[in-house]
Amino acid sequence: MTKIIPTLILAFLLTACTSQENGEEKKFNTDKKAETATEVTTTTEKNVSTEAEKVVDEKAETYAKNIFTLTDTKGNKLHVDEAENGIVFQEHKDKVVFVIFFGYRCPPCLEEIPVIKEMVKEKGDKLAVIGLEVQRLPEEQLKIFQESKKLNYTILSGEHVANSKFVSYIAERAQWNGSIPFLVGINPKGEVGVVHVGGIGKGEFEKVFDQLSN
């Protein structure tokens, strides 16, 4: 992972709300951004078979496992694997996943909350929502916010180092410029299919879910 500190500053200091119904669409960078979990080393010995070299090459092309271990406000862990066209949450395999950057004092973010809660209720175990608060609300206050809003989905605070690095990682791969709400939609295979800046309503959320489900 590269450019953690500059991107992290961007993530937490330049957040700005945008309520555009049809906000900006972005692409998710498919380049590998984390080091592979297993370093592959070889020696140039004459007796190394062609098949063995092929296996080494395949391992070298694999993407890293468990690049992040995130912690939510309830102390639960989320383990993240890297994929060519996205990321995989080990705890949410075979589900549509919405990763949402939001702020506790961002009007369009607050407007989305009832819609997201309704989506979670309707879609059941077909949808996982992971909200990352990026306006630096202290975690203890974020827990109060979560309880007062009766949020029925996962909430992460930036006070955890791994959570903050994950924000930076997503920001770099998804070209996030600091505007919120910010949505990264991931299909059940772990492929990012939607990257959207700006608030959206129930109809748009439904379209995103349907697009990712197909």
Closest CA to 122 of 202, 22, 212: 202
- Residue written as token pair 């990026």: 134
Q: Is the model's pLDDT at 187 over the cut of 50?
A: yes
Per-residue pLDDT of 78-97, as tens digits, reads 999 998 889 999 999 999 99
Quote the pTM value: 0.76
Parallel, antiparallel or unpaired: strands 179-180 and 16-17: parallel
Nearest CA-CA partner of 7 in 108, 88, 101: 101
- What does the pLDDT read at residue 29? 57
- Reported as a single tens digit per residue, the pLDDT across 93-116 is 999 999 999 999 999 999 999 999
- What is the C-alpha separation between 84 and 162, in angstroms, rounded? 21
Taking a C-beta distance cutoff of 8 angstroms, is the pair 212, 186 a contact?
yes
E-state strands within 9-121: 16-17, 68-71, 77-83, 86-89, 96-102
> Which residue(s) pair with 89 in the sheet?
80
CB-based burial label for 53 (10 Å; 0-12, 13-18, 19+):
exposed
Q: Which helix (H) or strand (E) holds 120?
A: helix 107-123
Is a pLDDT exceeding 80 seen at residue 38? no
What integer pLDDT is reported at residue 51 of this predicted model? 45
| Averaged pLDDT, 121-135 | 97
pLDDT > 60? residue 67: yes
Tell whether the model's pLDDT for residue 153 goes beyond 80.
Answer: yes
What is residue 3's predicted lDDT score, i.e. its pLDDT?
37
Under the banding of pLDDT at 50, 70 and 90, the label for residue 64 is confident
Ordered by where they begin, the domains of the chain are 4-35+67-213 (3.40.30.10)
Assigned token pair, 38? 């297993």
Residue 137 burial (CB count, 10 A): 18
Over residues 125-136, the mean pLDDT reads: 97
